[in-house]
Structure 1
Amino acid sequence: MNYIDCKLDEFKIRFAKEEDTVIILDFIKELARYEKMENEVVATEEILRDSLFNRKVAEVIIGEYENEPVSFALFFHNFSTFLGRPGIYLEDLFVKESMRGKGIGKIMLSFLGNLAIERGCGRLEWSCLDWNEPSIKVYKHLGAVPMDEWTVYRMCDKPLVNLAKEFQK
């Protein structure tokens, strides 16, 4: 596996492989528990394997401390019409509770920032729950700016199906 060494001893980052699907799903479930959204996880190993490794609609990096997976980030490219360039959208970043406070989240973000620059992206962006003060504090300390004037809208399930039918004859 191709590991990327980091400033934190014994911590390395690598891109996920198909055989990591179980690990990725476990991280997603841990994140959902932390966000009190366990009932919303419908992802399965099969869905993740298809989306991440067959269709390749998103990418995952895994952070390992002493060769054990302790963090993950799932991201994909978006596009800014104003910049005329792609960006990286960080969908999820999670560090196991026992590993928090060591700078692992910052290292993961730094890796993604470097990746964005390497890929010619104009920005790295993500969303954060309003109650997640520890993360918000870190993001602001790093120079991230909250987009307070924007509201995220989401459509799924029946409303999405209904919308899709709107243009059909």
Structure 2
Amino acid sequence: ATEEILRESLFKRNMAEVIIGELNGKPIGFALFFHNFSTFLGKPGIYLEDLYVKPAFRGRDFGKQMLGYLATLCEERDCGRLEWWCLDWNKSSIEFYKKLGAEPMDEWTTFRVTGKNLKKLSENYKKI
């Protein structure tokens, strides 16, 4: 993603929201998120797309504070859940999330359609 793409998507089209973690007025991390909806719960949720803390500031609870803030937003917005993906090889993040009370969703399989397959799926739909 480029700065221009992010500016367009976040500030003009409002496709997602971002919180910036700061220390002494300087950015040290961010969390990018958007709303989804659960038909199981009948409520919106917050999907965390990306959580990043600069390496020099990791291990100092900044990530925990940002997740806590998102949990507060969930409560304020009457959301049923806060969720995100984590790469299965990222053991330190997995342990960090588990300590916060997050549970891995092993019974779910993620599917994705991108690039030429996304275009093909769209073209097939338009033929119907």
The answer for the alignment partner of 1:64 in structure 2 is 22
Looking at structure 2, the residues matched to 155 and 75 of structure 1 have their Cα atoms a distance apart, in angstroms, of 20
Q: Deviations 1:35-55 (Å, cap 9, x if unpaired)?
A: xxxxxxxx1111111110111
Q: CA shift at 1:100, angstroms? A: 0.6
Match of 2:88 in 1: 130
SS at match of 2:126: coil
TM-score, length-scaled by structure 2: 0.97
Which residue in 1 is equivalent to 2:124? 166
- What is the TM-score with the length of structure 1 in the denominator? 0.74
The one of 43, 54, 59 aligned to 2:12: 54
- Superposed displacement of residue 67, structure 1: 1.1
Structure 2 portions without partners, runs of 5+? none
- The aligned amino acid for 2:6 is L
Q: CA RMSD in A?
A: 0.7
TM-aligned CA deviation for residue 61 of structure 1: 0.4
Structure 1 stretches (4+) deviating beyond 4 angstroms?
none
AA partner of residue 159 (structure 1): N
1:83 offset after TM fit, Å? 0.6
**3-state secondary structure, aligned to 1:83:** coil
Correspondence for 1:89: 47
CA distance in 2, matches of 1:167, 1:99: 47
Identity of matched residues, %? 64
Aligned to 1:112: 70
1:79-110 per-residue CA deviation (whole Å, 9 max, x = no partner) reads 00011110000000010000011011100100
Report the Cα offset of residue 131 of structure 1: 1.3
Separation in 2, partners of 1:155, 1:100: 33
